[in-house]
Chains A and B, each alone.
Chain A
């Protein structure tokens, strides 16, 4: 529990190297998530919801 955070200098390492870090793995994972979201949404809205009886029209 060091001094207050704002005054904390990075101690352990990679220092400025952080700037070069490209989170390509994160982008991949989140891209997959995005695709699942879109597909699941299309299914639930158009098939499950609009495909049911007694759609409320007024």
Chain B
């Protein structure tokens, strides 16, 4: 780009206070990614029996940590950073009160620290605290109260963040009564609307049932009810992870490709569809639950299938925007334009590969959505295979790639090494291709997810797709590449922070080919969309929840309490099992030595 841009101020030049918040949020996010990756590699090598450095009973502490740090802290801290940047940038105005901004950041960080402590304490025998309940915390397994309390504080932090952005938007609106909502702001506001609706259910579950129960105020809970409330939140939360990636694909990727967004109105339509449809679908995680009528499951499936629509539209719009850039740069032919793209830029290649993996994840997602075919894959390793393509790559890799583009503008420091960046994003793609593909295949063999030792004494898996053992090797290699890629990303970023500040790093975003003026005004009518969304949620959930309460009662049909944080019985069992398995392991190792 030309010299005119060299004088252009970067985001941090214009909004130094906001830039500091964005950097803080990103650093929290990447710290969680670091922890998550360590636990990720431990569990990968453990369950594939390549290296078992922890007792299998600790596997579930590791898995809880991996799940919570990856999909609650890594993704959501990145989201709040990105949204703060996007809102401020697109409104071209500072947040109304930076103290409030730091307050929500502080609450989120404090909440996550509490939850993190309660999980990690599970490794220390002398502390009578643990939370081995995985990130889904299904009752009647029970975590230490600190786990639930921390989550509640974290969620309240995100609510205040949303309020901060809405208030800033309203202040802007008073200054610009007649302008269209800028696209990035529109994305922030619609996503947060969805988040308020979705997170209300999990907040209710935690505050009304799980926290009082873990504190001993109530004796029991209804496991189907708390599970249903979790999934009421649990499906839209996947879109909460995804929307930052969509925002980057819609607004930043076309720019890096040398083009512009193909259609602003369609982007708005897509985000509105997510507000409307992402919540009344959570029952698709409960297709195989007893106690929920088949009709409710079918309704949930139909909604889910229509939720494919915004993503399919996104695929077209984003690729078309990239093609536009390529053709502007001299690209020709039916597919020859693909060579006229900036593949050497890690931000571009990372996002494109992330998008490609999302397309693959789209297929396994269709399978997950198909009600009766759920018998085939439910709770098998197919499912983690699927979501490592979606949240684990489409989202995670886009966030890493986006960081290469945004970080210089929020810090005035150029990226330490673009080559390492490029290598790292490609390595992630290769590692994930291996790991995820083999996970899908093992799932079809019937290998369960969430299991420390998926080999059983009484039977073998059928041999297909190369067989259980060979697939284990692929998973282990893939996981290792992913771990290396994460370390390269983090190392690159740390070295970037050591770079001296320079000027001229601004990258202004061009306006779309078909702009906001082409979008029907009704799209910006958030009140309308909220009321339709709430209506759909009531239609989808009122009857199932009433039926669940009617069947089991508000506090469950006599279900007990199974704390995984203070239970000598469990510990005894765990130790016995560990010793036994250790002995078996040693014996077989000795045997293997002898045989050799």
Q: What is the interface of chain A, defined by CB distance below 8 A to chain B?
A: 1-14, 18-19, 21, 23-26, 28-30, 33, 36-37, 40-41, 44-45, 48-49, 52, 56
Contact = CB atoms under 8 A, between A and B. Distances in A.
B54 to A, nearest CB: 34
A8 B509 CA distance: 10
A7 B179 contact: yes
A14 B509 CA distance: 15
B376 A25 contact: no
B170 to A, nearest CB: 15
B363 A5 contact: no
B591 interface: no
Interface string B182-202: 111000000000000000000
Given A26-B320, A56-B375, A6 B328 contact: no
Tell me if A's interface is mostly helix, strand, loop or mixed.
Answer: helix
Q: Which of A8, A10, A11 has the most CB of B within 10 A?
A: A8
B324 A49 contact: no
Contacts of A44: 367, 373, 376
Contact of B366 (A3, A24, A37): A37
Nearest to A16: B513
Given A6-B516, A12-B510, A40-B363, A1 B14 contact: yes
21 contacts: A1-B11, A1-B14, A1-B506, A2-B508, A4-B90, A4-B92, A10-B510, A18-B260, A18-B324, A18-B513, A23-B320, A23-B324, A25-B334, A25-B338, A26-B320, A26-B323, A29-B319, A44-B376, A49-B373, A49-B375, A52-B376
A29 B92 contact: no
B329 to A, nearest CB: 11
B9 interface: yes
B376 A48 contact: yes
B359 interface: yes
A25 B8 CA distance: 34
Nearest to A40: B363
Contacts of A28: 334-335
A23 B323 contact: yes
Interface in B75-128: 89-93
